[in-house]
Structure 1
């Protein structure tokens, strides 16, 4: 009887073991199917840095730079350009007083030199980017017929428009011409001073002055004046236009890009179109 009971218990234990089974080992996580390069999502493009730069530029550059703005911004979509035009001397004063500016384009080396001496420009960015000539003009329908700067002493000329020599490079060059020709004393009481070279041009266009002394580039853009004579380059200091990045610029890289564009083939072509050399 005991043997039968033992056998029955043994059989029951084996049966229970068989029913319960052995727990399955946990399956390892399967790697995600590989995605081909063509199916992989593209990484988001790095956003283009936006920069708005202020260019302080000599008034004589107005028309050329306005055209250059559109081509520059098209070729450099992350950068927008604003201009502050005026006489180079006044612009230099503004920069010296802390006025915001990223690039200075001067119509004379003297005004740029002053900023460089005060370490207000980044010296290694300075470069001469163009040249100009000084011309004597009169209104397109004027009866004035003089053909040389020496003849500015003609008594029939009551008003001779020039830039203010202290702040306007064109006026400074005009004074050098008159000093060289020794006619300054003869004409000083008939001089009408403009705040920049474009105002001098306006004086002659409007007939408020019979003649005026401006750059060749200014005379070229106006249909209301004609050129009477061109000054000999030996009569004045070289008319060169230096440009540089302002030391306080918060967008120095964009400012350098603008200067490089100005001296590129595209920049030179536009400057030449407007009478610069």
Structure 2
């Protein structure tokens, strides 16, 4: 309810402002993990294209529910390709879709790794507190489910979630719990280490790619777009050399 109200208020502000502005407007639904590079790209394109760009952020599933309910918006950027695959038959996407980068899950611990955490097995330890994301909300939750099932099957997945002291909603929520010392270990998107002061707070422990495969990040043009040519231009910029440099800076490309 709170999410829907927040989105509705943002949407009303955006639509009302467009009534008094001559600039065309593009609304982007953006998964939380990708917000920083997309904001930087949007700031560039606002000037270069002389347009207004509104970004609404959240978990990939919640964002889709918002665009499905409102039936407005121009671009949907999900945390991973599986959201496009899951929702494509709903009828909201065009066939204009580009891969704008990739992400990979990793283990996050406090700087210096004070509890000597080394692998996914540590999720079952009794002497540390863990947080995992709900796999029905954020993209990292969906990936966490895949990682744990790949590693130890459904039994390990169940034990790991039962042993967690918190269940997060998205990547931002997970890192917030870790930074506030509510937990000692988490699984999150590796790229989030580039956010804010996270490099000073966290140590990242890689997970073998056989368990945590790299996942492509899609940007898709929505059928509801009122400015499809502008929306295509934004997607094209993200995959251009200039856009790739920005995505690389935030850890979404090597």
For residue 248 of structure 2, what is the aligned residue in structure 1?
272
Moved more, 192-201 or 94-103: 94-103
What is the distance in 1 between the residues matched to 2:225 and 2:37?
Answer: 23
Deviations 1:19-54 (A, max 9, x none): xxxxxxxxxxxxxxxxxxxxxxxxxxxxxx831111
Matched, 1:210 2:184: yes
> Counterpart of 1:126 in 2: which secondary structure?
strand
Change (3 A) 1:156 1:263: same
For residue 207 of structure 2, what is the aligned residue in structure 1?
231
TM-score by length of 2: 0.83
Deviations 1:53-110 (A, max 9, x none): 1100110012111211221222212x22110111111111112223421100011222
Alpha-carbon distance, 1:171 to partner? 1.1
Matched, 1:67 2:40: yes
What is the distance in 1 between the residues matched to 2:73 and 2:200?
Answer: 33
Q: Is the 8 A contact 1:149 1:229 kept in 2?
A: no
- Which fold has the larger relative contact order, with Cα–Cα distance below 8 Å and residues 6 or more apart in sequence? 2
> Counterpart of 1:143 in 2: which secondary structure?
coil
What is the 5 A alignment of 1:138-177?
138-140=109-111, 143-158=114-129, 160-177=130-147
Moved more, 102-111 or 214-223: 214-223
Change (3 A) 1:127 1:75: same
Change (3 A) 1:107 1:216: same
If you compute each CA radius of gyration, which structure gives the higher value, 1 or 2?
Answer: 1
> Any gaps of 5 or more consecutive residues in structure 2?
1-21
For residue 17 of structure 2, what is the aligned residue in structure 1?
none
User: Aligned match of 1:129 in 84, 93, 100?
Assistant: 100
What is the distance in 2 between the residues matched to 1:56 and 1:153?
Answer: 36
Q: Is the 8 A contact 1:128 1:242 kept in 2?
A: yes
What is the distance in 2 between the residues matched to 1:93 and 1:204?
Answer: 28
Q: Which has the higher helix share?
A: 2
Alpha-carbon distance, 1:272 to partner? 0.4
The CA RMSD measured in Å over matched residues stands at 1.8
User: Runs ≥4 in structure 1, deviation > 3 angstroms?
Assistant: none
Total equivalences in the alignment: 226
What is the distance in 2 between the residues matched to 1:114 and 1:228?
Answer: 30
